[in-house]
Chains A and B, each alone.
Chain A
Amino acid sequence: MSNVDLTQLPAGPTIKGKLSRDDVIMRMGMGVIALYLIVTLAFPLWAMLSKSFSTFKFDLAGYELQVSDEDGTYSGEILTPELLNSELQVLTDNDLIAGSDSRLGLTPFFPDFSFRSPVKYQIRNTTDVGRFLVGSELKTGTEWLELDSNTFRRVQMRPVKATGMGNFINYFSTPALFNSIKNSMLIAVISTVVTVTLAFWFAYALNRTCMRFKGFFRLVAMAPILVPSLLPGIALVYLFGNQGMIKELLFGASIYGPIGIVIGSVFFTFPHAFIIISTALAISDARLYEAAASLRSTPWRTFWTVTIPGARYGLISAAFVVFNLVITDFGLPKVIGGQFNVLAVDIYKQVIGQQNFEMGAVVSVVLVIPAIFAFAIDRLVQSKQVALLSARSVPYQPTPNAKTDGIFFTYCVLVALFIVGILGVCQFAALIKFWPYDLSFSLTNYDFDRMDGGGWGSYYNSIKLGLFTAVAGTCIVFFGAYLVEKTNGFRLGRALFQMFAMLPMAIPGMVLGLAYIFFFNNPSNPLNMIYGTMAILVICSVTHFYTVSHLTAVTALKQMDREFESVSASLKQPTMKLFSRVTVPVCLPSVLDISIYLFVNAMTTVSAVVFLYSPKTSLASIAVLNMDDAGDIAPAAAMGMMIFYTNALARIIHLIVSKGVLKRTQAWRAR
């Protein structure tokens, strides 16, 4: 077409639209929420990334020294620590690698040093960036400073900061560290294969057979979502640990390590895989099966040529979601991993155990890579999934078949037994006085105030966190999604916002938590005051679970007529009136879904908050971790089950409220 010729356009400025008050308000609102995402996501991640590249090293050539004789006269000979070290070999190159807080005294370079000696010393930096301490006083500049012997022993060099790959080189030359990559990949891949296989047949049974009790099985399959990922670890300790109930079944293998991690991972990722695959199987088209049957295809062949291809996007998506969950999970390998190191636990060990924040940042960067990769593929696949569903599709209706129904029923019973069994063991353990010696029932394990971990206070803190996260998060997420969907023009801003909204899903909780330390615990950050408060936990949780909530909101908003805003503007009504009178009420079911999602996840998360809680804001999920760490496994199980019951109750309340609210506000849905 001849349409590409923009030179046809007459000269002169392009019409610039005047912004209406609503446009201004909406852009400002979007700016505020974008700023929220930048401050709570982009800045912390940037702080972490720059931390991983900052290395510290003592620069021996950075100082010059003069030593007097006993009368206090100087020969004029100028020494450097570098020179002295090459003569004396006091320090190896490895000793010069430092952390941000390292110090190094100068006296080892003078073998005949005595603090009582009348010898005097002069010292100066050779460059403006050089620094050393005299006691606790920081000295910079290239002026000579004269010190007596007694003061000279309190002189300490400070490392020079540089940017480079040093930390990464260090990481990859330490087998104890980089072996974790292999370990993490291994358990993630095995868990993915097992979970997806189990979940596929479970979803198949629920969608494609006529077995009974489908509702019950669906409920059971969803239960693991309500507990922290480390709870199955505790159950496995009771079942297969050193004093386990049925440890003989492992034939001498230890549950502490990959076996335990895989079994636990299957438990806590099962519902995620199940939902995705079940959705994929539910939308299949009956006409394809009729065609296959009319062509006399065997059931086996139909399965491979119709069922599997139809569900392939669901399967791929489920696989990457599970992979991501397992590789980024921290709680489970912490509880049952034993000596088997994985990346997420390495971050924890580096930061909490060794206070090596730079190395923690390096492991975080290493962990983010597969996480982002899995996330990107999942997004790609999900965007293709939609196209499969056409308006003409006829839903598949399974026909009863006593034999297959029986087989699948048995299978589902076994899977349900596994899930209920894990939860049951935890509840049983919580009620037993002292396994395995005193099997009488008691409630002593619920006396959390007598254990490490913050007591009942941490449980109430968790509920507070859940409620705050649900309320604040739902408001921020839904409002943000509305603005990004309905703001006029402003393309670039909206695209950037979308990108930021998708990012949290690719960032593991541990990484986000660590990034928060770097960013918010920096004394020069004005937001430093929220460090150690409930506020930072709420912010971290909202940001960590932003993406799924955002997508839920966007899906609901996309179903709204695009012209509502146009109509409202033509009637000269403020957009915010439309938002509160129409948009929110119509989207209320999704709003409630977002809030329950945020509540349940804030209750169960460990990884996102493990670096950020303070003694005053300890949480139930953290208490489970800490009590388990301290050997109080039974109380840990008891607390874990408290989380389960709380979440189950929250779900039930959500269900009742949704029904009630729907009845009252959604009367228009009924024809």
Chain B
Amino acid sequence: MTEATATPASYLSIDNLWKAFGDFLALKDISLNINEREFVCFLGPSGCGKTTLLRAIAGLDLQTKGRVVQGGKDVSNLPPSERDFGIVFQSYALFPNLTIEKNIAFGLENTGRSKSEITSRVAELLQLVGLPEQGKKYPAQLSGGQQQRIALARAIATNPGLLLLDEPLSALDAKVRVHLRHEIKELQRKLGVTAVMVTHDQEEALAMADRIVVMNHGVIEQVGSPTEVYRHPANLFVADFIGEMNQIPAIAGASGEVTISSTKLQSQRHDFNVGETIVAAIRPEDVIPHGDGARSPGAPDEIETPGNAFEVDVSEMEFLGSFWRCRLQHKMFGTGELIADFSINAVRRLDLAVGKTMTVELPQSRLMAFVPAGDAS
């Protein structure tokens, strides 16, 4: 579950962190290492404890038990003002009565910098976030995206060792959000600052993070790179929370085999005992569509694992721009349906339409087996 290989370049380490609000446990025994210059996202549904964890790292809401070590220094019980971080909030929290320049300069004052140093640093930061002309304006005169960039500039003005981002993009329009997440990532890489971002948006996490920490109910479900988390979810929760996933009740066979309503299919290797109730899972985009001649050897789209291919009825098709989402019926799934995403190309090539019958294959390497929801230890 938690990361097994703690690298020596660890910058921030969290040991056995607990947080109780009254008799509610918001964090349960969280341990995590974050490396220097790494961009880590805490991802999870609302109430999973991700913001609580961020605020504990910042010292804004102290943990009940456990240690936080930053840059080799135990900061577990230090107030925020004695830790080393910059923070950006969803609400930007820009001081409304100060100009953009003064907002950015706020943290530079009383630090032994001269007036001219501060002025040039502010100009440099404005340049860095791409708003060199806006220094004399007030926050209310800027757009949301611009305000968030100013908040970012203010947070990094003093060169903190750690940048904390608490849902920084949630209040923005979809277009601005996509643009800004790229910029933030770019900036973080350029500055080489270690960053922790909290988000509930999986797309954001996948696009920005070096590593994603998936959380639920106060525990870490999985830590891994975006591809790891997406390709090899540790459990059904992660599989379901990130991306789409078909979940089919099944019985475990020998390792590499699952049985869905008496049809035996080849799957990834698993550790279940034969006969255990499990959930077989496959992502919609991993379902392979096949033409009529696919069963004959040497065909351009020859079926890899013949046992995993079967005929289905197309019951519904939904056009989602870059692909078609199809609902497929087979007696194997009972009243349920198999959801499959087919490229526009494939739909045209196979001449698919509602009511038609087609062949699909669930490739062995993409068919996973999980403990059913609710049974999780």
Query: Among A191-199, A365-373, A578-586, which stretch is in contact with chain B?
Result: A578-586
Q: In the complex, which residues 634-669 of chain A have their Cβ closer than 8 Å to any Cβ of chain B?
A: 665-669
- Most chain-B Cβ atoms within 10 A of its Cβ — which of A16, A22, A564, A567? A567
1/0 per residue A534-568: CB within 8 Å of B?
00000000000000000000000000010110111
Please report the C-alpha to C-alpha distance between residue A18 and residue B77 in the assembled complex, in whole angstroms.
Answer: 6
Min Cβ gap A202→B in Å is 37
Residues of chain B from 97 to 114 with CB closer than 8 A to chain A in the complex = 97-98, 106-107, 109-111
Q: Which residue of B lies closest to A23 (CB)?
A: B79
Of B28, B29, B91, the residue contacting A561 (CB under 8 A) is B91
Q: How far is the CB of B310 from chain A (nearest CB, A)?
A: 41
Instruction: Convert A393-425 into 0s and 1s, putting 1 for each residue whose CB lies closer than 8 angstroms to a CB of B.
Output: 000000000000000000000000000000000
A169 to chain B, nearest CB (A): 47
Which among B87, B89, B96 has the highest number of chain A CB atoms within 10 Å?
B96
Q: What are the residues of chain A within 8 A of B96 when measuring CB–CB? A: 582, 586, 668
CB distance from A583 to the nearest CB of B (A): 9
Q: Are A6 and B58 in contact (CB under 8 A)?
A: no
A-B contact pairs, 23 of them (CB 8 A): A6-B25, A8-B28, A9-B20, A9-B65, A12-B65, A17-B79, A18-B77, A561-B89, A566-B93, A567-B154, A569-B60, A570-B86, A571-B154, A571-B158, A572-B81, A572-B111, A577-B109, A582-B98, A667-B138, A668-B98, A668-B140, A670-B140, A671-B141
Instruction: Fill in one digit per residue for A1-37: 1 if any B CB lies within 8 Å of its CB, else 0.
Output: 1011110111010111111111100000000000000
Contact across chains for A20 and B79 when beta carbons are under 8 A apart: yes
Q: Are B80 and A566 in contact (CB under 8 A)?
A: yes
CB of A573 within 8 Å of the partner chain? yes
Set A18, A561, A570: member contacting B87, Cβ < 8 A: A570
Choose one: A12, A15, A577; the contact of B63 (CB below 8 Å): A15
> Out of A1, A15, A567, A586, which one reaches B64, CB within 8 Å?
A15
Q: Is B62 interfacial (CB-CB < 8 Å)? A: yes
Closest chain-A Cβ to B291's Cβ sits at a distance in Å of 50
Q: Knowing A15-B76, A561-B93 touch, does A569 contact B65 (C-beta < 8 A)? A: no
Residues B97 and A582 in contact, CB atoms below 8 Å apart: yes
Please determine whether B79 and A573 come into contact, CB atoms closer than 8 angstroms: no
Complex alpha-carbon distance, A248 and B110, angstroms: 76
How far apart sit A668 and B64, CA to CA, in the bound complex (Å)?
41
- For window 60-86 of B, CB contacts with A under 8 Å fall at 60, 62-66, 76-83, 85-86
Bound CA–CA A91/B25 (angstroms): 73
Within 8 A of A (CB), among B20-42: 20, 23-25, 28-29
Return chain B residues, CB-CB under 8 Å to A572.
81, 107, 111, 158
> Is B77 within 8 A of A566, CB to CB?
no
Q: Is the CB of A6 within 8 A of B23?
A: yes
B16 at interface (Cβ–Cβ under 8 A)? Answer: yes
Task: Give Cα A33 to B80, complex, Å.
Answer: 25
A residues contacting the other copy or chain, number (CB 8 A): 43
A563 contacts B18, C-beta separation under 8 Å: no
- Given B16, B82, B218, which contacts A10 in the complex, CB threshold below 8 Å? B16
Q: B91 and A570: CB pair below 8 A?
A: no
Most buried by A among B78, B85, B89, B97: B97
A671 touches B140 (CB 8 A): yes
CB contacts (< 8 Å) of B154 on chain A: these are 567, 571
Residue of A nearest to B166 (CB): A563
Instruction: Tell me if A4 and B24 are in contact (CB < 8 A).
Output: yes
Q: Is the CB of B87 within 8 A of A17?
A: no
Chain B residues within 8 Å of A16, by CB = 77
Chain B residues with Cβ below 8 Å from A19 are 79
Query: How far in angstroms is the closest Cβ of chain B from A585?
Result: 5
Cβ-defined partner of A567 (8 Å) among B20, B93, B160:
B93
CA distance A10 to B66 in the complex (A): 9
Contact: A573 with B107, CB < 8 Å? yes
- Candidate in B87, B93, B154 with the most chain A CB atoms within 10 angstroms: B93
**Given known contacts A15-B62, A570-B155, A585-B97, is B77 in contact with A22 (CB within 8 Å)?**
no
Tell me if B107 and A571 are in contact (CB < 8 A): yes
Seed contacts A564-B93, A564-B95, A671-B140; 6 additional CB < 8 Å A-B pairs: A4-B23, A5-B25, A566-B58, A577-B110, A582-B97, A669-B140
Option from A8, A10, A668 in Cβ contact (under 8 Å) with B139 = A668
B248-260 vs A: 1/0 string, CB under 8 Å? Answer: 0000000000000
Type the 1/0 row for A56-79, where 1 means its CB is closer than 8 Å to any CB of B: 000000000000000000000000
| Cα separation A570 to B151 with both chains bound (whole Å) | 12
Q: Could you say which residues of chain B place their CB within 8 Å of the CB of A9?
A: 18, 20, 25, 64-65
CA distance A19 to B81 in the complex (A): 10
Rounded to whole Å, the gap between the CB of B99 and the closest CB of chain A is 8
**Cα-based distance from A668 to B94 in the complex (angstroms):** 12
Residue in B23, B60, B63, B97 whose beta carbon sits within 8 Å of that of A666 in the complex: B97
Alpha-carbon distance A275/B374, docked complex (angstroms): 57
- Of chain B, the residue at the smallest CB distance from A667 is B138
Closest B residue, CB atoms, query A561 = B93
A491 smallest CB distance to B (angstroms)? 11
CB distance B87 to A567 under 8 Å? yes
Residues of A within 8 A of B98 (CB): 581-582, 668
Residues of the B chain whose Cβ atoms lie less than 8 Å from the Cβ of A668: 96-98, 138-140
| Residues A10 and B24 in contact in the complex (CB < 8 Å), given A571-B106, A665-B97 | no
